[in-house]
Structure formats: structure tokens, C-alpha cells
Amino acid sequence: MIGWPVAVEQFYNVKLLEEKIGVCVEAARGKNCEVFHEEIVAKIELVMNESEKGKEMRKKAWEVKEIINNATKEEENFKGSSMEAMDQFLNLCRS
């Protein structure tokens, strides 16, 4: 993922995705940032090439995808953590 935060919580989100989760590189920051073609190409190559960092980022992205899929899963006898939390929230709102 290539991040370009422009407002509010996006700065925190990109920092979290880059430094803690390891699935993002920041290309620019803010609305008035000047971005050059060469910089974007370098970021894309970093994410997509076969370097250790690129491979690790893609591996972590797949792991995050699985976590999200499991959290939002809803089957006959199983609800993922996000679905269960939503049910609890809605039930609380109805009481």
C-alpha cells in the first residue's frame, strides 16, 4: 500500500500501517506536498519488487487480509469478532 495522508486521522493511519503493521510506505504528506514522478516510481518499485522488504510487505498484507476476512465472516454457526461486536452493539442500542 502506498499512503498519501492529506487530513485528520489519515496521518496516524499511514504511520500505523507503515511502522506497526508493515504494509505501507508513505509517498507524500499533506495537500500541498509536491510529488515527483521519480519518487512515486521508487515507492511502487519498493512495494512491488522482489526485495526482502517488498516480499515482507506483501506477506503481511495477505495476513491482514485473512484477519479481516475472519473478523467479518458470518456463517451458520460462526460469527467473526467484528460481526459479533456489531450484534452486541445493536442489541445494546435496542435495550
Output the average pLDDT for the chain. 92
pLDDT interval class at 95 (50, 70, 90): confident
Long-range Cβ pairs for the range 75-83 (8 Å, 24+): none
23 pLDDT more than 90: yes
**pLDDT computed for residue 32 by the predictor:** 87
Where do the domains of the chain lie, and which CATH numbers do they carry?
Answer: 2-94 (3.40.50.2000)
Q: How far is CA 66 from CA 4, 62, 63, 71, 95, in A?
A: 24, 6, 5, 8, 33
Distance CA 79, CA 86 (A): 10
> pLDDT tens digits, residue range 46-61?
989 898 989 999 999 9
